[in-house]
Amino acid sequence: MKKLSILGVLLLSACVTINIYFPAAAAEKAADEIIQDIQNAAPQKPEPQSALPDSQKTVYLWLDKAIGAFISPAAAAEADLTIDSVDIRRLTASMESRFPSLKPFYDSGAIGIQEDGLLTVRDAANVPLKDRNKVNKLVAAENKDRTGLYQAIANANGHPDWFGQIKATFAKRWVGNARSGWWYRQSGSWKQK
């Protein structure tokens, strides 16, 4: 009887223990969505068409619902990342409105994406003298908003400690979503996409 009580306590404690981990795949997806929205480059993908007959689709849908009944909803929720809050909307709107001013400087190679995902003036010689102050202000404002965005996403998900992981994820995705001809820094060297 004592073994049964200990086993019951262990099972009960196992049921209420939830490991919270950083949802890397969800963070990458969220970063891509945000970056593409900022750059107005979100590709329109057609809905995939299924080759399965309707009877098989029905069986698979039934199985999916049956399995879902046994899997904890908390487990499914852990893989999600919230990217909607007042701060996130404000920061992304600011970045979207700034992007048209930054784009010519990306295109000319004057600015580039650093390894940490922040921008820098890469080649001031590609910036007309009259525009240099403007570029420096644009880069500073963009970097401030990017840093604020990463913290806002971490806060919106109840994990301010995820800031570093979110920043690292976005750093990779800024490069992944860079357009052809844009410059980025990798392993200490500048490369052109």
How far is it, in rounded angstroms, from Cα 146 to Cα 25?
20
Query: What integer pLDDT is reported at residue 180 of this predicted model?
Result: 96
Tell me the pLDDT tens digit for each residue of 113-129. Answer: 999 999 999 999 999 99
pLDDT mean across residues, the chain: 81
Residue 81 pLDDT level (bands cut at 50, 70, 90): confident
Query: What integer pLDDT is reported at residue 80 of this predicted model?
Result: 76
Tell me the pLDDT tens digit for each residue of 53-72. Answer: 666 555 555 555 555 555 54
Domain locations in the chain as residue ranges = 82-193
Q: Is the pTM of this model over 0.85?
A: no
Work out the burial of residue 78: count CB atoms within 10 Å of its CB; fewer than 13 is exposed, 13-18 middle, 19 or more buried: middle
Beta bridge partners of 186: 189
Order of strands across the sheet that contains 183-186: 119-121, 111-113, 183-186, 189-192
Tell me the pLDDT tens digit for each residue of 7-44. Answer: 444 444 444 444 468 999 999 999 999 999 999 843 43
Strands (E) across the chain are located at: 111-113, 119-121, 183-186, 189-192
For tokens 């190679």, name the residue: 109
The percent of residues in the chain predicted with pLDDT above 70, rounded, is 69
Query: What integer pLDDT is reported at residue 21 of this predicted model?
Result: 87
| Residue 190 · residue 183 · CB < 8 Å | yes
Can you say how many angstroms the Cα of residue 88 is from the centroid of all Cα atoms in its chain? 12
Q: Does position 94 have pLDDT exceeding 50, yes or no? A: yes
Q: Does position 83 have pLDDT exceeding 50, yes or no? A: yes
